[in-house]
Amino acid sequence: MLFERMMRAARLDSNLYEEVEADRSLTSQAATVVAIVAVCQGIGSGIRAANTPGGGNAIGALVGALIGAFVGWVIWSYITYWIGTSMFHGTATPGELLRTLGFAQTPGVLGILGFIPFLGGVLGFAGAVLSLVAGIVAIRQALDVTTGKAVLTALVGWLALMLITIVIGAITGGLGLLTGIIR
């Protein structure tokens, strides 16, 4: 059943997003989708890192992908909830956005092919673009807004997420620099 739902999510089946929105019991399945996608992307990145001189740690790539995926999923869901309900008068709960946006990440499984020279990058990019489009469908269905409002919600939400990511990166990078100076 999970695999079937993932296939429907990747095909941008708006009925699937309505079903996922309405069924609270599918939150754990949405989290499972996020984990599957993160593992696929982590494996692709890890293989690429292991095969690139100075490319980094394959296990680190996998762990980083998992942590980043879950943190990003939760932040993205709450940001889009807040923007969609406050700016565009959508009607939803944070849980509805968690579920729909979790399933919308399905096309990211193409990241497992990221280690293949050239083709992996193209497929990874295609997966990212399709995930964004699926995210817009998910936002539209969860918030019950027009496609235009869903696109604006996604755009404003993405900009807010990038700002948060930059701030967190600056803080953690600054802490790393400070730790190096103190030694």
What is the pLDDT tens value at each position of the chain, 183 positions in all? Answer: 999 999 999 999 999 999 999 999 999 999 999 999 999 988 888 787 777 777 666 677 778 778 888 988 999 999 999 999 999 999 999 999 999 999 999 999 998 998 888 898 899 899 999 999 999 999 999 999 999 999 999 999 888 888 887 887 777 666 555 555 555
Number of structural domains the chain divides into: 1
What is the domain range of residue 133? 2-182
Cβ-contact 84, 139 below 8 angstroms: yes
Structure-block tokens of residue 108: 């990211």
Structure-block tokens of residue 100: 């729909």
Structure-block tokens of residue 49: 């890192």
pTM to 2 decimal places = 0.88
**Hey, what amino acid is at 129?**
V
